[in-house]
Amino acid sequence: MKTSVFSNCGMCSVRCPIKVEVTDGRVTWIEGNPYVPGMEGSLCARGSAGISLLYDFERLQYPMIRTGPRGSGQFKRVSWNEAFNYIAEEVKKAQDKYGKRTVALLDRGAGLFGEMQRLIVRGMGSPNYFNHDDFCRKNVDLAYQTLIGYGRPEVSYDFANTKHMVFYGRNALEALGVREANNIVKALENGAKLTYIDVRVSKTATKATKYLQIRPGTDYALNLALIHVILKEGLYDKDFVDRFLSGITDLENFVKNYTPEWAEKETGIPAYEIIGLARQLSIDKPKVILYPGWFAARTKDAFYFARSVIILNALLGSIEQKGGLIVAKSPKEVGAKGLNSLLDRIPAPEEKRVEAEEGKGFLYDGAGHILHLYRAIKRGEPYPVKALFVVRYDPFAGITHKDIEEISNGLDLLVTIDVNYSATSWYADVILPESIYFERSDIIGLQRGAKPAFVMRKQAVQPIYDTKSRWEIVKGILTAYGAGEYMPYESIEDIWNYQLEGTGVKIEDFEKSGQVALCKDAKIYSRDELKFKTPSGKVEILSAKMAEREVPYFFAYESPVKPNTEEGEFRLVFGRMAVHTHVQTHNNRYLNEIVPENELWINDKIASKLGIKNGDWVEVSSGDYTGKIRAKVTPFIHEESVFMYRGFENEVPWKTRSYGKGLNEGRLLKGAFERMAHGSHTGALFENFVKVKKA
Ligand SMILES: Nc1nc2c(c(=O)[nH]1)N[C@H]1C(S)=C(S)[C@@H](COP(=O)(O)OP(=O)(O)OC[C@H]3O[C@@H](n4cnc5c(=O)[nH]c(N)nc54)[C@H](O)[C@@H]3O)O[C@H]1N2
Ligand SMILES: Nc1nc2c(c(=O)[nH]1)N[C@H]1C(S)=C(S)[C@@H](COP(=O)(O)OP(=O)(O)OC[C@H]3O[C@@H](n4cnc5c(=O)[nH]c(N)nc54)[C@H](O)[C@@H]3O)O[C@H]1N2
Ligand code: SF4
Ligand SMILES: [Mo]
């Protein structure tokens, strides 16, 4: 028998809507949900390889408890009840000794379906919820919050209708989401320009109208000069600026000395190119998108850089604009009722999260920073965190061994909820295997945007192994702990009905396409209706939020250190490739076959001085770790940096296809937890220098 189920891809965090075909209980075909504009039935390589994850035996199959030392890989199989009871006992022991808030949960981010795991910590009376964002998009998120009062997930980009896109290392056609990539390509086909700025020629660079190679770590200088030119030559959108931008005089004073000629010396981009770009953007405004991306720059000035990108958009009038940036409308704003929250049913803990105890001088928001969590575990400050749940996140694969060991040693309990043998699981006390996305249903999610929609991920096939859905795992943990009243539901339908109560939407309404739109047309406010969510209703350069947290409005540019390339010293940068997701797909049978290992991009002129030829083995050293990798000698990278694709050299021997293959850039991030961005105290992963020599 053949059936179709609407679901969401789980091969990366974009969660593209998909249609799954099931024949006699087996998944036989997956495609992009044809009802969702922008998907056009397409999937990326990773999405298509989902079938191979489902039928892989090299994934988690049953709950396990550690029996040997941490990192030894010695575990025993246990029943789900044994695992739940063990966790509950250990959490209570820790809480009796250190207080309720000694429990923390770290996940990949709330996203569409992420409210569920947050019930675990709140149900245990702790405020300590953290996610990965400060190694990802947190600077962009905080920059948006300070300037317009909306967060990063509430801002969408109308690529399909734009005239000019500017991407700063936003390698959108390789580090991709299907809808976004489709819309960018469509815009290019319709004649839109793409100015692409990167230290190397990425795949996106090859599609750009103009590629500008930049000296690593100097994007902020470029933007200060762009702002300088736009203000000096009056190239901005006067109507938007007069109505919505506050603090422009302070901005003018701040950028006075940041001339294009000055920026040329910093960035290596000729002054005429900077002036030309400012003028072209002014011609194309307001249908322009200067895209801060997710990760923005990964430098210490990344928060102020992200602010500079948003300020440029504001100067060009592209916020809340067709072909520009569009802010999300809440269900209420489009005349609908939102989903009932599961989290809100649990009283919010009164005690403060780790960051809130750390004084002022930096910003924070609803989810904690991993750097603050790390310090609390390592140093016991501002108070001890001794029990940690890690859900759908593998931080141990992304950071150095020394740091991992320090974290593990500081914990009494480490629980992971994953689908793969992650590096974090390898160090865990308890491993709980979640059913993969084809095998489970999740809570209903709200897809934000100008046309908000409810989205359902529905189970397509029965679980193959002894795994559970996330809601069942959360229910099991909370029940064993004695907080089962917060998960009174017996089935996913019970949960859906609770979420949908009062919305007028029914479970059956998802049958046609897996989604229920909350309004007919996308809603974009006219300038007469527009009001930002800041206290003044304007774009606040002098942000009230920053004033409250005693964070300076402006940050004077600091020229980055120049590595001594003659001595083989380089800034280490890295990124995603189209066929792999971070650290989780390298063992996938299909994807591993396409790209089993990575190589180190190194500039040809410098390589020849160091006697390194294309394909040679080279040694890369950070001071406390040295690894080997093959060199890719190329003219298409700036001489100050070396680059590698992320997430190789898996260290868990259970994943036999990817074990030890390539080099993991995370091993080379010496001191990653100690380096923080100004104003946001988030991570700064590209502020790292390595030594390279022929092996
Ligand atoms: N060294 C280094 N560190 C980085 C980065 C980097 O480039 N280099 N990038 C940063 C950025 S931007 C990000 S977003 C993060 C990403 O880092 P991660 O979030 O750690 O990477 P992912 O590969 O997405 O996988 C997370 C984990 O989720 C698991 N997983 C996948 N599907 C499911 C599921 O359905 N349920 C459950 N429970 N688990 C699942 C995977 O098996 C994997 O163990 O890393 C950040 N840190
Ligand atoms: N296929 C695939 N797609 C993904 C993901 C994935 O794992 N796989 N992950 C998703 C996630 S979580 C994220 S955060 C996004 C990340 O999306 P992006 O941020 O677009 O992705 P990266 O591959 O990290 O790209 C970083 C780029 O920055 C360049 N770069 C390095 N230093 C500098 C510099 O100083 N200035 C400039 N301008 N550029 C520099 C690098 O050469 C690289 O091309 O991708 C998302 N999409
Ligand atoms: S971008 Fe690819 S891997 Fe990510 S959700 Fe979409 S189809 Fe899946
Ligand atoms: Mo990310």
CATH topology of domain 2-54: N-terminal domain of TfIIb (2.20.25)
In this prediction, residue 8 carries a pLDDT of 96
Average pLDDT over residues 297-305: 92
pLDDT for 296 beyond 80 = no
pLDDT of amino acid 400: 74
**497 CB-side CA count, 13 A:** 7
Residue whose CB lies within 8 A of the most ligand 1 atoms, among 105, 401, 582, for a mutation test: 582
- State the pLDDT at residue 294: 79
- H helices of 99-172, in order, are 115-123, 138-148
Which of 441, 428, 418, 422 lies closest to 499, judged by CA?
441
135 in ligand 2 pocket by Cβ < 6 Å? no
How far is residue 170's CA from residue 630's CA, in Å, rounded to a whole number? 25
Mean pLDDT of 427-441: 97
- How far apart are alpha carbons 482 and 471 in whole angstroms? 16
Q: Which numbered atom of ligand 2 lies nearest the CA of 200? A: 42
Query: What is the rounded CA–CA span in Å between residue 246 and residue 231?
Result: 14
The predicted model gives 248-266 an average pLDDT of 98
Pocket residue to mutate for ligand 3, from 7, 8, 14, most atoms within 8 A of Cβ: 14
- Mean pLDDT of the 153-170 span: 96
**C-beta of residue 421 within 8 angstroms of C-beta of residue 437:** no
44 lines ligand 3 (CB under 6 A): yes
**Which ligand is closest to the CA of 211, given by its number?**
2
Answer whether residue 689 shows pLDDT above 70.
yes
Token duo for residue 85: 């009871």
Nearest residue CA, atom 19 of ligand 1? 393
Per-residue pLDDT, 110: 72
Span from the CA of 10 to the centroid of ligand 4 (angstroms) = 15
Select from 169, 220, 200 the least CA-distant residue to 642: 200
Task: Please give the distance, rounded to the nearest whole angstrom, from the Cα atom of residue 249 to the centre of ligand 4.
Answer: 35
* pLDDT the model gives residue 297: 63
- Read off the pLDDT of each residue in 222-239 and give the average, rounded to a whole number: 98
pLDDT tens-digit map of 640-673:
999 999 999 999 999 999 999 999 999 999 888 8
Give the ligand at the shortest distance from the Cα of 584.
1
**For residue range 193-223, what is the model confidence (pLDDT) as tens digits?**
999 999 999 999 999 999 999 999 999 999 9
**Distance from the CA of 294 to the center of ligand 2, in angstroms?**
8
Predicted pLDDT of residue 176: 96
In the three-class reduction of DSSP (H, G, I as helix; E, B as strand; rest coil), residue 301 is classed as coil
Q: How far is CA 146 from the centre of its chain?
A: 19
Q: Which fold has domain 64-135+337-517?
A: Rossmann fold (3.40.50)
Answer whether 16 contacts ligand 3 (Cβ < 6 A).
yes
Q: What is the mean pLDDT of residues 467-479?
A: 98
Residue 404: predicted pLDDT: 81
Task: Please say if the pLDDT value at position 226 is more than 80.
Answer: yes
Rounded Cα gap, residues 395 and 64, in angstroms: 20
Q: Return the closest-CA partner of residue 274 out of 216, 218, 227.
A: 227
Measured from the Cα of 177, ligand 3's closest atom is 1
Contact assessment for residue 647 and residue 572, using Cβ atoms and an 8 Å cutoff: no
- Where are the domains positioned within the chain? 2-54, 64-135+337-517, 159-323+524-548, 565-694
**What pLDDT is attached to residue 43?**
97
Is 230:313 a contact under the CB 8 Å cutoff? no
The pTM of the full predicted model, rounded to 2 decimals, is: 0.97
Which candidate, 37, 147, 200, 264, places its Cα nearest to that of 532? 147
User: How many angstroms separate the CA atoms of 63 and 433, rounded?
Assistant: 6
Average pLDDT estimate for 417-424: 96
Using DSSP, state whether 361 is helix, strand or coil. coil
CA of 447 to the centre of ligand 4 (A): 18
Query: Would the pLDDT of 375 be above 90?
Result: no
Residue 171 alpha carbon to ligand 2 centre in Å = 5
For residue 260, the CA-to-ligand 4 centroid distance in Å is: 31
> How long a stretch of residues is the chain?
695
Residue 516 phi, psi (nearest 5): -130, 110
The 10s digit of each residue's pLDDT in 551-562 is 999 999 999 999
Q: Is 152 in the pocket of ligand 2 (CB under 6 A)?
A: no
Mean pLDDT of the chain: 96
Ligand approaching nearest to the C-alpha of 109: 1
Q: Is it true that domain 159-323+524-548 has CATH number 3.40.50.460?
A: no
Please tell me the distance between residue 27's alpha carbon and the centre of ligand 3 in angstroms.
17
**Mean pLDDT computed over 626-651:** 97
Gap from CA of 303 to ligand 4 centroid (Å): 16
**Is residue 320 left, alpha or beta, with left meaning phi > 0 and alpha meaning psi from -120 to 50?**
left
Q: Residue 269: left if φ>0, alpha if ψ -120 to 50, beta else—which one?
A: beta
The answer to whether the CB of 199 is under 6 A from ligand 2 is yes
- pLDDT beyond 90 at 163: yes
Which residue has a Cα nearest atom 13 of ligand 2?
Answer: 294
* % the chain with pLDDT above 70: 100
Q: Report CA 613 to chain centroid distance, whole Å.
A: 35
Kindly state the percentage of the chain with pLDDT values over 90.
Answer: 91
Q: Which amino acid is at 244?
A: F
Q: How far is CA 5 from CA 260, 348, 468, 469, 490, in A?
A: 55, 37, 19, 17, 22
Q: Give the position, in ligand 1's atom list, of the atom nearest the Cα of 434.
A: 38
Q: DSSP strand E in 270-412: where?
A: 288-291, 325-327, 387-391
What span, in angstroms and rounded, lies between the C-alpha atoms of 155 and 525?
14
Banded pLDDT at 256 (limits 50, 70, 90): very high
For residue 636, how far is the Cα from the chain centroid?
26
Helix 470-481 with 115-123: angle, nearest 10 deg:
10
The pairing of beta strand 617-621 with beta strand 387-391:
unpaired
| Closest to 462 (Cα-Cα) out of 436, 490, 442 | 436
DSSP 393: -
CATH fold label, 565-694? Barwin-like endoglucanases (2.40.40)
Average pLDDT over residues 567-587: 97
The CA 107 to ligand 1 mean position distance, Å, reads 9
> Is the pLDDT assigned to residue 295 strictly greater than 80?
no
| Residue 565, pLDDT score | 97
Query: Is the model's pLDDT at 402 over the cut of 80?
Result: no
